[in-house]
């Protein structure tokens, strides 16, 4: 039996040369605090431990590493956390089989270019991995999203508004009958999304149930806390359920955002509405800016 997945941390990454042949990938520094909180542990600078990656029924040996870079040279740089595995090992070979579209493109482009130029797979060919924590200590899970699966998911999501889809998936999770539920269960979209109830709980706790826009606890007057999770890039358009794509806001702002579709300026950490109104986040502990 596969272990339970802890949705308190999820990181999706486009497949690149490092994932397929370079021996691993790096957790973005702005997500590392969430990773440690979800795992209930930390690694010291330079420390490494043995870990495992599960893909379906297959389990592969990897290492979880806090890179031992020179702190005297890079005094203000946060720790760099990596998942490492052998470039010629079983996991690399298995991923190259799953992501043959990306691997073929990367190798073809590298043969055309001189030197060590990094090859980026174009968006229309992009394939992804989703990295999650499981209920077993030091065991992680990779969900692999090859090009065909991504195309099927996007086709089935076409026509759904974001809030409509969120309500639908919530009904599936809560076992409320819905005529569309079986379609999403069969297609794997619910598994793909890794519906974010536990990610949401982690982020709500991180912000002490305060809205990131107002800094206030909605409902505190009534001795309750009401906040919701919002995907900055709508999941129905991006299939992005990373912790870094979710913010915690009060229900009113959530509805206003979906009505008005403002642009979120990640550099300024603010919503820019079509009528010129700007709403800047007052709280930020997990977004890269």
More confident residue, 185 or 254: 254
Residue 250: the pLDDT is 94
pTM of the model: 0.69
pLDDT of 34 over the 60 cut: yes
Q: Which residues pair with 271 in a beta bridge?
A: 264, 279
Which pLDDT belongs to residue 186?
Answer: 45
Element (H, E) at 49: strand 48-55
CA distance 9 to 7: 5
CB 139 within 8 A of CB 57: no
Average pLDDT estimate for 170-177: 50
């Amino acid at each position: 039996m596969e272990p339970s997945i802890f949705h308190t941390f999820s990181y999706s990454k486009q497949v690149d040369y490092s994932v397929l042949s370079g021996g691993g990938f790096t957790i973005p520094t702005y997500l590392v605090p969430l990773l440690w909180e979800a795992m209930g542990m930390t690694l010291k600078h330079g420390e490494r431990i043995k870990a495992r990656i599960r893909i379906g029924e297959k389990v592969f040996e990897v290492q979880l590493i806090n890179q031992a870079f020179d702190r005297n040279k890079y005094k203000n740089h946060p720790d760099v956390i990596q998942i490492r595995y052998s470039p010629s090992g079983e996991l690399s070979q298995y991923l190259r089989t799953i992501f043959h579209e990306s691997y073929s493109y990367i190798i073809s482009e590298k043969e055309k270019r001189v030197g060590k130029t990094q090859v980026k797979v174009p968006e229309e060919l992009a394939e992804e991995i989703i990295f999650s924590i499981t209920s077993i200590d030091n065991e992680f899970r990779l969900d692999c999203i090859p090009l065909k699966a991504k195309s099927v998911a996007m086709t089935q999501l076409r026509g759904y508004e974001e809030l409509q889809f969120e309500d639908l998936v919530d009904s599936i999770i809560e076992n409320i009958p819905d005529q569309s539920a079986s379609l999403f269960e069969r297609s794997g979209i619910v598994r793909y999304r890794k519906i974010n109830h536990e990610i949401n709980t982690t982020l709500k706790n991180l912000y002490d149930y305060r809205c990131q826009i107002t800094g206030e606890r909605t409902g505190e007057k009534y001795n309750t806390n009401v906040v919701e999770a919002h995907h900055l890039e709508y999941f129905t358009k991006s299939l992005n359920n990373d912790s870094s794509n979710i913010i915690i806001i009060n229900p009113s702002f959530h509805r206003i955002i979906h009505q008005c579709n403002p642009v979120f300026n990640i550099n300024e950490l603010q919503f820019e509405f079509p009528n010129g109104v700007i709403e800047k986040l007052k709280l930020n502990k997990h977004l890269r800016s």
